[in-house]
Chain A
């Protein structure tokens, strides 16, 4: 992508400088994969490898959860972020998994991510935060914005053309469609989805909100959930995961992307987002670090419709 050529050069230069000067101990970015349509995560600690960094419209991976690998290490790491990734970093900062001293956030302009066939990803069409919500530095002229906004920076025109954020108002369409079904249909639909799950935990591993040091699904304690992928245990996993990220999900859509069984995980997350907004007021997770997530606070006059 020619708009991003200078951004790529700047990324490599910056990463090399940061590593050579010892400002950071490592840099999270992307590299070109084995296919032209594949841009995969890359972590470098060596300035000589900075030239492997690459960023284009296939760099869909959210790298923020990778910062957890170094949460016990005081050294600083640099991370390149798109708008959605930056919310993941805010998630980790707000959950106190990393400190601001441990991370150097470098914001990038997002051209809108595309799949192998070249069509815009649904999550990008529904994107409300294409610009980083926080960054220590930016490349490509992107603006840091904590408000839902239109894409900025060198790829703003390209992003507008492919329709980034054009369907932001339809984010809840899938939820609304399911809500219109009868209880029996919903039960059958979700039973089918849960039966597909192979419990690989890829959704958990990629999620910046799933940052518990000891996950309930890894615990040695007996009795919580069976390791077998039965419908009952899969439903337990799916609902527990959803409740654990409720009000904290940053809407990056990575869980659904990495799911090998194509389970509509984001539909559940969106359903929770929609209910939280309806019950407890508007809230966008991972945008403002100072606003406590809705399930971590309360108001004495909260609704009590189920009592």
Chain B
């Protein structure tokens, strides 16, 4: 055995992890929401998921970093090709996985790299925000913004503003899969 497998005896031998043809790779069962409910100096910190379009907002966020701008570390950015790529399930999944707020950010209308993606985003999420409000979600927990690649200060301001808006609301418990 040891001659065949250099890793023999390691815990990886016992569990089906990856590489087995035909067998799904299984996630470990969730034990706690990832990274949520973290405290800093004993204070609860909101966990915000941001979907950033590759061409504008992500570049804007990058510029904010390059410019050494200070903003709250509460937002986790997910880079998507276009804000039109974000579908309603992404948002719901983020809430399920422990997000306290979700931001969808993309190019300004008219500036979409693909021409029209953000116009569809605008209609879709305008409607979805109203639906979530109808289901009892605070509208501040789900927002959308247009941030261009040169608008690093706007990115900083949006993150700061969103964090401060969500902080008084407390953790989002609605639809959460696992308790923090």
User: A residues touching B (Cβ–Cβ < 8 Å)?
Assistant: 175, 178-179, 183-191, 216, 222-224, 226, 230-233, 235-236, 239-240, 242-244, 246-247, 268, 271-272, 275-276, 279-280, 294-296, 298-300, 302-307
From B47-55, B64-72, B135-143, give the one contacting chain A: B135-143
Q: Is the CB of A306 within 8 A of B136?
A: no
How distant is the Cα of A226 from the Cα of B175 in the complex, in angstroms?
Answer: 13
From B9-17, B36-44, B122-130, give the one contacting chain A: B122-130
How distant is the Cα of A187 from the Cα of B176 in the complex, in angstroms?
Answer: 13
Q: Which of B109, B125, B175 contacts A232 (CB 8 A)?
A: B175
Measured between beta carbons, the chain A residues less than 8 angstroms from B119 are: 298-300, 302
How distant is the Cα of A233 from the Cα of B89 in the complex, in angstroms?
Answer: 11
7 contacts between A and B (CB under 8 A): A230-B177, A235-B174, A239-B131, A294-B123, A298-B116, A304-B122, A306-B139
Q: Is the CB of A298 within 8 A of B144?
A: no
Known: A240-B88, A243-B131. A187 touches B136 (CB 8 A): yes
A-contacting residues, B93-138, CB 8 Å = 93, 96, 109-110, 116, 119-120, 122-138
Q: Is the CB of B126 within 8 A of A295?
A: no
Q: Which of A268, A294, A303 contacts B131 (CB 8 A)?
A: A268
Q: Is the CB of A305 within 8 A of B89?
A: no
Q: Is the CB of A302 within 8 A of B134?
A: no
For the complex, would chain A's binding face be called helix, strand, loop or mixed by DSSP majority?
Answer: helix
Measured between beta carbons, the chain A residues less than 8 angstroms from B78 are: none
Known: A179-B134, A307-B145. A246 touches B127 (CB 8 A): yes
Measured between beta carbons, the chain A residues less than 8 angstroms from B144 are: 306-307
Q: Is the CB of A178 within 8 A of B134?
A: yes
Nearest Cβ on chain B to A303's Cβ, whole angstroms: 7
Known: A222-B27, A240-B89, A272-B131. A305 touches B126 (CB 8 A): yes
Q: Is the CB of A187 within 8 A of B93?
A: no
- In chain A, what residue has the closest Cβ to B134? A271
Q: Is the CB of A295 within 8 A of B125?
A: no
User: B residues touching A (Cβ–Cβ < 8 Å)?
Assistant: 24, 27, 88-89, 92-93, 96, 109-110, 116, 119-120, 122-139, 143-146, 174-177
Q: Which of B122, B134, B136, B146 contacts A298 (CB 8 A)?
A: B122
Measured between beta carbons, the chain A residues less than 8 angstroms from B136 are: 183-191
How distant is the Cα of A190 from the Cα of B174 in the complex, in angstroms?
Answer: 11
- In chain B, what residue has the closest Cβ to A175? B134
Measured between beta carbons, the chain A residues less than 8 angstroms from B126 are: 279, 302-306
Measured between beta carbons, the chain B residues less than 8 angstroms from A185 are: 136
How distant is the Cα of A188 from the Cα of B110 in the complex, in angstroms?
Answer: 40
How distant is the Cα of A201 from the Cα of B24 in the complex, in angstroms?
Answer: 25
Measured between beta carbons, the chain A residues less than 8 angstroms from B89 are: 216, 224, 236, 240
Q: Is the CB of B88 within 8 A of A243?
A: yes
**Interface pairs A-B: 4 shortest CB-CB:** A187-B136, A298-B119, A186-B136, A243-B88
Q: Is the CB of B123 within 8 A of A183?
A: no
New contact pairs (17) apart from A295-B124, A306-B129, CB-CB < 8 Å: A175-B134, A183-B133, A185-B136, A187-B136, A187-B137, A223-B27, A232-B175, A232-B176, A233-B177, A236-B93, A240-B88, A240-B92, A272-B127, A279-B126, A280-B123, A296-B120, A302-B122
Nearest Cβ on chain B to A295's Cβ, whole angstroms: 6
Residue from B116, B119, B134, B176 whose CB has the most chain A CB atoms within 10 Å: B134
How distant is the Cα of A216 from the Cα of B90 in the complex, in angstroms?
Answer: 13
Measured between beta carbons, the chain A residues less than 8 angstroms from B129 are: 306
How distant is the Cα of A280 from the Cα of B126 in the complex, in angstroms?
Answer: 10
Measured between beta carbons, the chain B residues less than 8 angstroms from A299 are: 119
How distant is the Cα of A233 from the Cα of B97 in the complex, in angstroms?
Answer: 11
Measured between beta carbons, the chain A residues less than 8 angstroms from B125 are: 306
Q: Is the CB of A187 within 8 A of B116?
A: no
Measured between beta carbons, the chain B residues less than 8 angstroms from A224 are: 89, 93
Measured between beta carbons, the chain A residues less than 8 angstroms from B135 are: 186-187, 190, 235, 239
Residue from A183, A243, A295, A305 whose CB has the most chain B CB atoms within 10 Å: A243
Nearest Cβ on chain A to B82's Cβ, whole angstroms: 14
Measured between beta carbons, the chain A residues less than 8 angstroms from B145 are: 307
How distant is the Cα of A281 from the Cα of B89 in the complex, in angstroms?
Answer: 26
Nearest Cβ on chain A to B68's Cβ, whole angstroms: 27
